[in-house]
Amino acid sequence: MRRLDLEFQPRRNSPLAWSLLAVASAMVAGLVLLQHSLQAEQVERETSVHSLEQQLGRRPATVAPLSSAASREQAERLAQMQSVSQQLQRPWQQLFAMLEAQPQDNVALLSLAPDARKGQLRITAEARNLEAMLQYHQRLEASAELSDVSLLNHEVLATQPERPVRFTLTATWETGHARP
């Protein structure tokens, strides 16, 4: 009796089949690598286009939503920047010219503290006596740049031999000529 062969497809170990399989595998691997490099290049170009559009102003910058603490911090920074902007828009030269034009024989300015949001100016000065302080107050009230000049406090420096008066005034700083 002869041996029974139940294989439905005979085995063929031909080198042509193996070489075709190797070539096909190499082509698939090459195409996968090519697709990967093309996708990376596409992402890079999209990023470049996005940044160029932002620079040109055609696309708004994407901003992640802020937490409440970050929102408060951003609001505080914005308020500080607005305050600085208002300070820079004040007519400083007019104020300094007016203060320098005041007779300084009996009064010495110690400090100036402007508040741009309130439109007020705090002046700390020292006068030789109470009458010199009152005259300085009246001259500031009569100036065109300041109004509502008020005496906040005063102190007679009794420890010094001449007994000068240190005082603080507040005034509304008129800024009709501020830059827009």
Q: CA 133, CA 125: separation in Å to the nearest integer?
A: 9
Give the residue with greater pLDDT, 5 vs 21: 21
The answer to whether the beta carbons of residues 173 and 146 sit under 8 Å apart is yes
Give the residue with greater pLDDT, 30 vs 105: 30
Per-residue confidence at 153, pLDDT binned at 50, 70, 90?
A: very high
Residues 6+ apart with CB under 8 A from 83: 116, 117
The residue type at 29: A
Is residue 116 predicted with pLDDT exceeding 60? yes
Is residue 89 predicted with pLDDT exceeding 90? no
Per-residue confidence at 93, pLDDT binned at 50, 70, 90?
A: confident
Q: CA 174, CA 5: separation in Å to the nearest integer?
A: 113
> What pLDDT score does 6 carry?
72
Q: CA 59, CA 177: separation in Å to the nearest integer?
A: 38
Per-residue confidence at 59, pLDDT binned at 50, 70, 90?
A: low
With H, G, I as helix, E, B as strand and everything else as coil, classify residue 3.
coil
How much is the pTM?
Answer: 0.50
